Structure 1
Amino acid sequence: MGKRILCLLLSVALFSIPWLGGTSLTLFVAFVPLLWIQSDVAAKTGRKGKPLRFWPYAVATFTLWWLATVWWVGFAAVIGVVAATVTGTVLMSGAFLIYHAVWRRAKRALAYTVLVSGWIAYEYLFLNGEISFPWLVLGNGFSMDVKLVQWYEYTGALGGSLWVLVVNLLVFEAWKRRREPVRWIAPAVALLLPAVVSLIMYATYEEPSERTKITVVQPNIDPYHEKFVLKQSEQNELLIGLMDQAPQDADLIVAPETAIDEYFWEEYLERTPSMLLFHDFIRQRKPGTMVVTGANTYVPYDSEETASPTARERGGQWYDVFNTALGLDSTEAIKIHHKGKLVIGAEMLPYYSVIRKWKFLFVDLGGLSGQIGYGKVREVFTAPGGVRAGPAICYEAVYGEYFTEFVRNGAQVMCVISNDGWWRDTPGHRYLFAYSRLRAVENRRSIARSANTGISGFIDQRGDVLQKLGWDQRGALTDSLSLNDRMTFYTRYGDVIGRVSSYVFVLGLLYFMAYRFRRKSHIVD
């Protein structure tokens, strides 16, 4: 019992290290202690001859892993930590316990196939379902070690998950026969070959020669004590002061998510005082520049019949609230992108279209749920000089396949705007920035990131950080980034590994059921 507990804690530590600032290499053996527990439990029986239960070990391992790596969400909402941990643990444990059931009753090859495909299918589901917080996708663990995963331009982060799972299984099999040196050849090749290929890709990759000059600003306004106390006019003055540090030949100036903390009706947007102020600044001081900034906007509807499923009602008026990125230049036209990947709880309620039918139970369902509108199109902004930039908003940069839609729509460079101050100086804001490094590799697009506070900066097409402003710093940075019109395999086709794994998992379970039926019917030995 004590040995199994130690292995459980070891597995938790090995899983957690890559999300706490350590090396990603621990992932390649993180499953091994848990696999040993699983085989040990299956091989032994309790005092009364009954099989020992494995599920408590799996549940405890994944619960502790989630708690160790997402505790920082509690600074914004404790319920967020609970919800993420419960949901993630259920899905991870489900995938592992299905493997355990197959392992006990079928051939090892089938069990391992079910484990690998089932785990990746769970990650794919978590990336695309309405209940979604894919923080602990295994492939995300390489966000600090991008030199090892340059082939993400073909596979995306799920390719990293596949790599981790396969190496763990090979290491476990080798460890069981650890006195036979030949057994270690397969895991060594599986670990080193992709790493060497990636290092060669990293060393030989050349960015296109066409470049753009971009400035990012970080106002460093505390979201708890200043953001909603300072008048918007004071915040606008601060933003303009930082933007004025941009050189005259900058194509883009990027400001954070909801940097303009006002709510605008989009049909009157260009006539609002804040927009007039920023337009005047651009015309007088930066006429060849586009400002990309965040705001909140309203879109009205004529009636309940024409309103979207997420619309709210007040005084007989139906409308949607959007978390919006705006593109402002010297013309009166304002480019608009609505955030499409929303934060559960703060911005959306899962299965809202179903829950909305029970709205008579609530005084104000819209206000209660925090539900805002979804953007349906990944808009691309074109600066006066012709540079095409995708304006991803915060959480949108966590989703690899979703992020590719900006590039498929023509983005030559990506901007990510965020407000990371809600989570204070924790791993939260550091890994939100680091995940953008993976998106840069997947799409071979340079990224300019502006956060309200920590971390703002620039990432090149190999995922390297060029410059950055850290936590609790105010300032502006300017850099020259390479543009790219080429689309990678991953940009074109997305999470092929996730889709294939889902099919393989279903087929594997069907095969297992057929196999069990044949065994029970004595059709096979």
Structure 2
Amino acid sequence: MKKSLFFLSTLSGLLLFAAWPTSPLMPFIFIAWLPLLIVADQVKTAPRFFGLAFWALLIWNSGTTWWMWNSTDIGTIAAIMFNSMLMTFPWWGYFHLKKKGKKIGYTSLIAFWMCFEYIHHNWQLSWPWLTLGNVFASYPDTIQWYEYTGVQGGTLWVLLVNILLYECWLSYQQKSFSKKKGIAVILLLLLPVSVSYLIKPSLTKEAVQDNIVIVQPNIDPYGKFNAGSGAEQIQLLLNLSKQAIDSHTKMIIWPETAMSIADWQNNISNNLYYQPVFAFSREHPAIHIVSGIETFKNYGREKATATAREAGDGSYYDAFNAAVHIRNGEALGFYNKSKLVPGVESLPTFLNFMAPVFEQFGGTTGGYGRSESAEVFSTGANSYVAAPIICYESVYGEYVGEYVKKGANILTIMTNDGWWGNTPGHKQHLAYAGLRAIETRKWVARSANTGISAVIDPTGAVRSSEPWNKMSTIKYAIPVINGTSFYVSMGDYLYKLASLLSMLLILLKIKDRFIKSKA
């Protein structure tokens, strides 16, 4: 029995891993939880089930995110172990509540898992990379309805199909197979896909003259912050841009931290390294440059933010992984990355005592500062209103929707995925950008330092791309699409409903414990 349970737990982990982008085995996701559901029904004790569920989730996490090792070894081990443990808690809650009956049990599994995903999108150790709804990222034609539900709808779909299939398997084992259950499974599998094809927008070719140039400089991320090479990097970016632009170019997008010589935000326009950029802007006044940049901001003697660091003279300042908007004749616009990578770009306040440890495996003791909310880059002279999405932020559906609510009509993603090398990491990241295109029904222009840079249409299809490890540019005439989708307007409403239901279920369990203790 112990061996068979361990095998089933292992099988669940392997199926989850096999289904994940960019694998062609995505349909495995609809049976991936079945072995773990069997384990939950056969294990007698909660600690034993917790261990088996943790093992399955550890396999999934390790198989899909091992590539983080290329940027931080100890950090990767800590992240994978911790994330696997967090994912085990919704299953642990299901194990306890299923004793009250199947309906309550299955409801608790759905509610607890979706509540976990919602928390994992919004707390200080946020890591939503393995949100279940992300699994369909490589198959956008099947999830066009994400414009109404976002990835949370995909999570719900996966859980419901697995639960119904498990019920069909149980009834078959008991020789009481119900045709109604079988039909329900088939409908639940086929209806969302059918609806997806029916509602997929028809993107007719528009006579668009204005174009955007995306630059992929292919600079080694581990050497780009060397001040000695800063001028060469800027010249490379400008040369690539000059070769690609024409009289209809309205915007140039450079990748995350393309302008890598850090300076105070109020001094960027005077920085000697960046004078060629401003000279280029004067020569081409109709063109806007949207670029990643490293900056600082000084607060004087006041510790104005929780992330502010103390300088040697007693003043306080923040360091930012930022985006800058450059157009001749206008003041520079800045947006500071808000969704920061835990442990590397930010340290949760409750882990401040571990700052020296995080610094040793690639993190930062002080953490980056951040903007409080999404911002857009726009001007009346340009039809494009850009959402300056920096790297990791493109994994957050509701947050990207905030850019659109503020008027963005194009999603401009600046990223530097080269830290991980040529691994599944940068391919997954590109695929997730397609999810944001569907959710917002906006075009995506993605500039990646080492690749994959791409143009993605509002159906999630890649229209143009440049491969990994290639210096290149993309010039594309992107239509402007205004307005907001249902999902952008409503946000993560399914997650919020699931979280409310989770609280009610937990209160129910507490009430039962209280009554039992009084008996």
TM range (shorter): over 0.9
Cα distance in 2 for partners of 1:488, 1:205 equals: 16
Aligned in 2, Cα 1:513/1:306: closer, same or farther, shift over 3 Å?
Answer: closer
Cα distance in 2 for partners of 1:475, 1:59 equals: 43
Q: Which residue is 2:374 aligned to?
A: 378
Q: Which residue is 1:23 aligned to?
A: 25
Which of these residues, 308, 312, 328, is aligned with residue 305 of structure 2?
308
The answer to whether residue 271 in structure 2 is matched with residue 279 in structure 1 is no
Gaps of at least 5 residues in structure 2 are none
Cα distance in 2 for partners of 1:146, 1:497 equals: 20
Q: Which residue is 1:112 aligned to?
A: 106
Cα distance in 2 for partners of 1:141, 1:301 equals: 43
SS in 2 for 1:87: helix
Is the 2:383–2:480 contact (alpha carbons within 8 Å) kept by the matching residues of 1?
A: no
Cα distance in 1 for partners of 2:516, 2:312 equals: 67
Aligned pairs for 1:286-365 (under 5 A) are 286-303=284-301, 305-316=302-313, 317-351=315-349, 355=352
SS in 1 for 2:478: strand
Deviation at 1:394, TM superposition (A): 0.3
Aligned in 2, Cα 1:203/1:341: closer, same or farther, shift over 3 Å?
Answer: closer
Q: Which residue is 2:159 aligned to?
A: 165
Deviation at 1:170, TM superposition (A): 0.3
SS in 1 for 2:343: coil
Cα distance in 2 for partners of 1:290, 1:120 equals: 40
Cα distance in 2 for partners of 1:218, 1:127 equals: 29
Is the 2:292–2:324 contact (alpha carbons within 8 Å) kept by the matching residues of 1?
A: yes
Deviation at 1:204, TM superposition (A): 4.7
The one-letter amino acid paired with 1:151 is W
Is the 1:346–1:370 contact (alpha carbons within 8 Å) kept by the matching residues of 2?
A: no
SS in 1 for 2:11: helix
Deviation at 1:206, TM superposition (A): 6.3
Deviation at 1:248, TM superposition (A): 2.3
Is the 1:211–1:483 contact (alpha carbons within 8 Å) kept by the matching residues of 2?
A: no
Is the 2:347–2:364 contact (alpha carbons within 8 Å) kept by the matching residues of 1?
A: no
Aligned in 2, Cα 1:203/1:294: closer, same or farther, shift over 3 Å?
Answer: closer
The one-letter amino acid paired with 2:30 is F
Gaps of at least 5 residues in structure 1 are 43-49
SS in 2 for 1:390: strand
Is the 1:213–1:478 contact (alpha carbons within 8 Å) kept by the matching residues of 2?
A: yes
Which of these residues, 27, 46, 51, is aligned with residue 56 of structure 1?
51
Moved more, 245-254 or 430-439: 245-254
TM-score by length of 1: 0.91
Deviation at 1:80, TM superposition (A): 2.6
SS in 1 for 2:298: strand
The answer to whether residue 87 in structure 2 is matched with residue 92 in structure 1 is yes
The one-letter amino acid paired with 2:485 is T
Cα distance in 2 for partners of 1:220, 1:392 equals: 19
Aligned in 2, Cα 1:227/1:2: closer, same or farther, shift over 3 Å?
Answer: same
Cα distance in 1 for partners of 2:430, 2:366 equals: 25
Q: Which residue is 1:249 aligned to?
A: 248
The answer to whether residue 125 in structure 2 is matched with residue 123 in structure 1 is no
Moved more, 443-452 or 6-15: 6-15
Q: Which residue is 1:4 aligned to?
A: 5
TM-score by length of 2: 0.92
The answer to whether residue 60 in structure 2 is matched with residue 65 in structure 1 is yes
Deviation at 1:409, TM superposition (A): 0.7
Cα distance in 2 for partners of 1:53, 1:380 equals: 50
Deviation at 1:414, TM superposition (A): 1.0
SS in 1 for 2:372: coil
RMSD of the alignment, in Å?
Answer: 2.7
State the number of aligned residues: 509
Is the 1:391–1:414 contact (alpha carbons within 8 Å) kept by the matching residues of 2?
A: yes
The one-letter amino acid paired with 2:35 is P
Q: Which residue is 2:187 aligned to?
A: 189
Matched-pair identity in %: 34
Q: Which residue is 1:414 aligned to?
A: 411
Is the 2:335–2:375 contact (alpha carbons within 8 Å) kept by the matching residues of 1?
A: yes
Q: Which residue is 1:141 aligned to?
A: 135
Is the 2:323–2:390 contact (alpha carbons within 8 Å) kept by the matching residues of 1?
A: yes
Deviation at 1:40, TM superposition (A): 2.1
SS in 1 for 2:220: coil
Is the 1:215–1:250 contact (alpha carbons within 8 Å) kept by the matching residues of 2?
A: yes
SS in 1 for 2:105: helix
Is the 2:415–2:447 contact (alpha carbons within 8 Å) kept by the matching residues of 1?
A: yes
Q: Which residue is 1:265 aligned to?
A: 264
Is the 1:113–1:508 contact (alpha carbons within 8 Å) kept by the matching residues of 2?
A: no
Q: Which residue is 1:46 aligned to?
A: none
Is the 2:347–2:355 contact (alpha carbons within 8 Å) kept by the matching residues of 1?
A: no
Aligned in 2, Cα 1:368/1:409: closer, same or farther, shift over 3 Å?
Answer: closer
Deviation at 1:480, TM superposition (A): 1.6
Deviation at 1:385, TM superposition (A): 2.1
Cα distance in 1 for partners of 2:137, 2:203 equals: 18
